[in-house]
Amino acid sequence: MNTLLKHIAILASLMFAIGCQEEFNPPVVDAAEQYVIEGYIEAGDGTNPTFLLITKSIPFFNELKAEQYAELFVAGANVSVDDGVSEVAFTELCLSDLPDGPIKDDIAEELGVDLDAISVDICIYVDLADALVREEGRSYDLTVTIEDEVLTSTTTIPVLNRLDSFKFRDIPGEPVDTLAQLFCNIKDSENVDFYRYFTDDDFGTLTPPFNSVTDDVQFDGQEFNFPLSQADNSDNFDINTFGFFTVGDTVTIKWCAIDQAHFDFWNTFEYSLNGQGSPFTGYTRIADNIEGGFGIWGGYSVQLEELVVVKEE
């Protein structure tokens, strides 16, 4: 039996098994409300301010109405981070308090949203004075106090193995003059390393692609050449252009080292996200690193590169 027939036989067996199963309607469980953290600290090229968002969880099957959206964001918390030298208290900033300028622009770029278009008065917590020592190899202990609840976490900013060359080449299959595929080269260390990357998408915002994280299991300690895909958040998905770069464009690549807990969060999150709607995908528990709540407190060591898309032979 050839490979195609094997795949057809397996698919038919799966469909038959599914067809014989009774419909399963999971019970609706009113889970206890949790505080959800999303915060990042960066070191390296063109880094963003250190910031934190705090929201409340809602039950999976609940419908989120527009008037409830503003109630998800938590204000009035006490947020601090210990970098091993000093403990720095973050400043609470709400959108209504943000003046136009670099800080507002940086936050908008990191979140990937137009802050002026948001009607909800979202509050964030920022190391406004940039008092934290942000450097590779350092750990950062987070403490968040909300009334009588305390949430904690620790992240590190690992040492980054930088990409040392970039080449745009013809896309696989029939070449297209206007499209190119990006290949990068890295000299990986003999340590266990974890990476995440971003590119600017069709809207000019630095965005992670569908599979933005990787470990170095396949190339640990080696010099390795591999492709990177362009992020695409457009509504019009085209398999013929997806992940490729347009010749003549200027693009930004953000290449980052992350620690294992940070990798586990995005790895399980993206696996769950990419499997939504598939009848063959099971439930995925997203790994997080917040004690007393849920979410991610993550460190990035950053390499930022601006490239002109010109194909090489």
Domains of the chain, first to last: 35-157 (no CATH), 163-287+297-308 (2.60.40)
Least Cα distance to 254 among 310, 312, 210, 195 occurs for 195
- Say if residues 94 and 123 touch (Cβ distance below 8 Å): yes
Mean pLDDT (whole number) for 90-102: 83
Specify the pLDDT at position 6.
36
**Mean pLDDT, range 58-73, rounded to an integer:** 68
Residue whose pair of structure tokens reads 């070191």 in the numeric block: 43
What is the pLDDT of the chain when averaged over all its residues?
83
How high is the pLDDT of residue 283? 58
Element (H, E) at 187: strand 179-187
Distance of CA 269 to the CA centre of its chain: 9
Confidence of residue 143 (pLDDT cuts 50, 70, 90): very high
Asked if residues 51 and 91 have their Cβ atoms less than 8 Å apart, the reply is no
- Percent of the chain beyond pLDDT 90? 56
Which phi-psi region, left, alpha or beta, contains residue 46 (left: φ > 0; alpha: ψ -120 to 50)?
A: left
Residue of 210, 222, 223 whose CA lies nearest to 274: 210
| Residue 228 parent element (H or E) | strand 223-228
Asked if 61 contacts 30 with a C-beta cutoff of 8 angstroms, the reply is no
The predicted structure's pLDDT at residue 16? 34
Query: How far apart, in whole angstroms, are the C-alpha atoms of residue 206 and residue 49?
Result: 15
What's the CA gap between 115 and 112, in Å, rounded? 9
Q: What is the pLDDT at residue 111?
A: 59
* Residue (of 34, 38, 296) closest to 149 by Cα position: 34
pLDDT-derived band at 302, boundaries 50, 70, 90 = very high
Half-sphere CA count of 251, side-chain side, radius 13 A? 29
pLDDT digits (tens, 9 = 90+) for 224-260: 999 999 988 666 778 888 899 999 999 999 999 999 9
Averaged over 93-105, what is the pLDDT? 78
Residue type, 181: Q
CA distance linking residue 144 with residue 295, whole number of Å: 12
Cβ neighbour number for residue 210 with a 10 Å cutoff = 12
* Cβ contact 88:81 at 8 Å: yes
Other beta carbons less than 10 A from residue 256's beta carbon: 28
Nearest to residue 142, comparing CAs of 85, 94, 83, 93? 83
